[in-house]
Chains A and B, each alone.
Chain A
Amino acid sequence: MSGVMGVGGGFEGTHAIGKAEAEEPTHFAFSEDSEAQIARIVARYPAGRQASAVIATLYIAQKQMGLQTGSAWVPRVAMDAVAARLGMPPMRVYEVVTFYFMFNTKPIGKFHLQVCGTTPCWLRGSDDVLRACKDAGHLKGYGDTSADGIFTMTEVECLGGCVNAPVLQVDDDYYEDMDYESTVKLLEALKRGERPTPGSVIGRQTSAPEGGPMVLTGSEE
């Protein structure tokens, strides 16, 4: 039934991350830090409308899981905790979690490599970035987690960083203007426990042209 999987395209992978026999934790409680963040977010909404904070709260839960277990995902007990915290039926939380690809419903690796393969990034060499991730991260393809549990790679749609394409998102950080070598270098650094400064790896200033500003430089010609 390869055709069935094919219809879903790249979306399929994001929810099938990790080992199939993912062990569900039996308990989840918000940490003090998470609780403080949630309180701040819930306060933004009128009383009785705290369910509006569901996406932010889920992301806090996912981050907390990342900090506590080294794998940023949302187990079902965490979804239930979010539902209880915000006073909404658990099913409504499950719907949100499964709708958005930013939430992982299965355990992932320590670093979440999100390769943008949308047209601008693809034209600028995202295939090389993908190849580098596979080689340096020992990954078989999209949706795979490396055997050592360090990397999980997923394909994502446009990240909005097209001017500095191709883009590789690691957890929350964008690394831009990637090519094969810089991707390998980045992954090796991550393996060593370093966290290189996010942004353009060729030193581009924000989204200015390569090599620096070309117009309005102050010098009159």
Chain B
Amino acid sequence: MNWEVVIGLEIHTQLSTKSKLFSGAAVGFGAEPNTQTTLVDLGMPGALPVFNKEALRMAVMFGHAINAEIGMTSVFARKNYFYPDLPKGYQTSQMDHPIVGKGYLDVTLDDGTTSRVGITRAHLEEDAGKSLHEDFHGMTGIDLNRSSTPLLEIVSEPDIRSAKEAVAYVKMIHSIVTYLGICDGNMAEGSMRCDINLSLRPKGQKEYGTRTEIKNVNSFRFIEKAIYTEIERQSDILEDGGKIVQETRLYDPEKNETRSMRSKEDANDYRYFPCPDLLPIELTEAYVEEIRQTLPELPSQKAARFQSEYKLSEYDAHVLSSSRAMADYFETANKQVKDAKLTANWVMGELSKTLNQEQLEIAQSTVSAEAFGELLIRIKDNTINGKTAKDVFQAMWLGEGSADQIIDAKGLKQVTDTGAIESMIQTILDANQAQVEQYRAADEDKQKKMIGFFVGQVMKASQGKANPGIVNPILAKMLKG
């Protein structure tokens, strides 16, 4: 049968506040266990939560970025369940009155098509701690550093129809939250985690099929693979006339499979009720508007501007604006180069290639945007050619100095002295009399093919330093005799 996949995503975004959602403890990754905690995060008797207003500001920013209704009165609720790394026995979250209401995002796929994904809500909640099962001799260790870290849970409508679309949506959310500066976007450290709700239905059917929820998928690649795997699993069951069990599943990237975690019957009754330790958050129109004014340029706006201001193609503009760091890098470099196409090609080409090889983010580039711009200027003013520039860039990457220092040190400056080039060509022509004769006897079409040999000889003789723009016309003239 022809199945249609229906996907809704819940994305947990860790907000990059300095302190926790309900305590003054610092937020950070990788600290010694239980060193970033206060009485509140430890759930000590008598400890009370105090709401971090910075998290509120960030949530409202996000609401604006997805064209959402802002909850003018939002309420924290307790989600009650027992778990050793949940110190209070409840998670403080939001239920009936989230801070961000209905919104949407227009998602552009790689093939250029755009689809609108509805966002049901986004709410603030605290993270739990971590249970550590290794190194405790069969016991379990508890690390509460992450306890009460602020999360914004972004819940989409079941509007997504493919793995590609899901990934494009998550990438867009990633791009927005990093643009807004409300999340560091570091998925490897768990700053963004995704729950995938997925069901299949026969194409054309209106009712949704039974869904499963895949918990805590934490990379774009795993999201895509988990979805493909789960689609296959579900369609196999349905094709065999079986029924999908509503349950929570876990994606195992090593085996590339999803596994059952718990069924609906085992699901907790969370006994949500408004948290009596926290007052409802009441917002004023003025506050909401003030935050709207602080919104930075968002990815889609930036892409549009790159097309109109720099005359970049839609594709280039989209790629460059997908991360704020890359867009900033491009613009900073281009401020000096003043050749957007050249800068764009090099950012998306050599720089991105090297970053990918080294598995680094652009923020970790060893070559700054300014230094990168200086290199590109040397291409633009013909000091070096593109091929040499790649070598210079690699040297810069290894910290050998600025573009000019490396060009000087290695003597890579292009030869632009016409006299020197003429004598170099003469030497080559003299040494290759036979080829010169053949060239002169050939017709124009053949000559165009044959000239490459001489250009190559010149480049070889000049160790790549001869400027092709100058070599070519002189060579053509001298070959004519």
Please determine whether chains A and B interact with each other in the same assembly.
no
